[in-house]
Amino acid sequence: MGTIKACIFDLDGVVVDTAKYHYLAWKRLANELGFDFTHQDNERLKGVSRIDSLNILLEIGGQSFTPEEKLAFAEKKNNWYTQYIDKMTPDEVLPGVLDFFEQLKAAGIKMALGSASKNAGYILQKTNLTHWFDVIVDGTKTSKAKPDPEVFLLGAKGLNISPSECVVFEDAEAGVEAAINAGMFCVGIGSPAILGKANRVIPDLFEMNLKKLDF
Ligand code: B16
Ligand code: MG
């Protein structure tokens, strides 16, 4: 591809590992409803919105509730989840992230966040990452969930950079599809078996640097 002018980062699974806190909070809800929720089940929730995650969880437990009851469960889970976020520190930024961010800043490459999470602003604040981003698009600003490209297109628009000049870093299958649907180059973070639709797959941002960005 041509010159890259911007990098757009997913949050959970790319910059920080909040999936473990989502897991603990969803598991607590499942247990309260009388069924188990495994790590394998949790894989299905990565990159998926809060309410869609709840629907998957209830499907796993074989239970159904009214929309009002579901909203109350989602809120309950979020309260438990944010109690974990309250305790987060800058030490929880994943390996290689800050080095790569520094390189991007020095090279004048713009940076945006493209996350499904409504808690993204709070997580960035707790981990001291807010200042790195020129634009922050999170679950409070989008109306369509990944794999819809909305979150990443809003990021490019906010940066005033064409989608074809953006690279997205994503750990979830739905997120990779969203990036490709946005017409962006996508680097998958994690396993090639799950992220096969990405243009490239690496295990973590520790494996990324400015030179490798020359796709
Ligand atoms: P919240 P990302 C996503 O974040 C998580 O991967 C997903 O598990 C979660 O359900 C979703 O955010 C919504 O999060 O309940 O905090 O609004 O990977 O898009 O940064
Ligand atoms: Mg993610």
Catalytic (active site) residue 12? yes
Catalytic (active site) residue 41? no
Rounded to an integer, the average pLDDT of 155-173 is 97
Please report, rounded to a whole number, the percentage of residues in the chain having pLDDT higher than 90: 93
For position 51, what pLDDT does the model report? 96
Q: Give CA–CA dist 183/164, Å, rounded.
A: 6
Domains of the chain as residue ranges with CATH: 6-17+90-213 (3.40.50.1000), 19-85 (1.10.150.240)
What spacing in Å lies between the alpha carbon of 189 and ligand 2's midpoint?
A: 9
Query: Per-residue pLDDT tens for 72-102?
Result: 999 999 999 999 999 999 999 999 999 999 9
Quote the strand ranges of the chain, DSSP E.
6-9, 110-114, 135-137, 166-170, 185-189, 200-202
| Residue ranges with CB less than 5 Å from ion ligand 2 | 10, 12-13, 47, 171-172
* pLDDT of 1 strictly over 70: no
Residues 6+ apart with CB under 8 A from 44: 56
> Given 12, 41, 138, 171, which residue is catalytic?
12
Name which of 15, 6, 2 is nearest 153 in CA terms. Answer: 6
Would you call 34 exposed, middle or buried from its count of C-beta atoms within 10 A (0-12, 13-18, 19+)?
Answer: exposed
Query: Taking CB atoms and a 6 Å cutoff, what residues make up the pocket around ligand 1?
Result: 10-13, 22, 45-50, 53, 78, 115-119, 139, 172
For position 214, what pLDDT does the model report? 76
pTM for the model = 0.95
Kindly identify the ligand whose nearest atom is closest to the C-alpha of 146. 1
Q: Give CA–CA dist 158/47, Å, rounded.
A: 21
**Interstrand relation of 166-170 and 110-114 (parallel, antiparallel or unpaired):** unpaired
Q: Which residue has the higher pLDDT, 82 or 210?
A: 82
Name which of 32, 60, 36, 33 is nearest 48 in CA terms. Answer: 60
Least confident of 39-53, 111-125, 151-165: 39-53
Q: Which atom of ligand 1 is nearest to the CA of 170?
A: 18
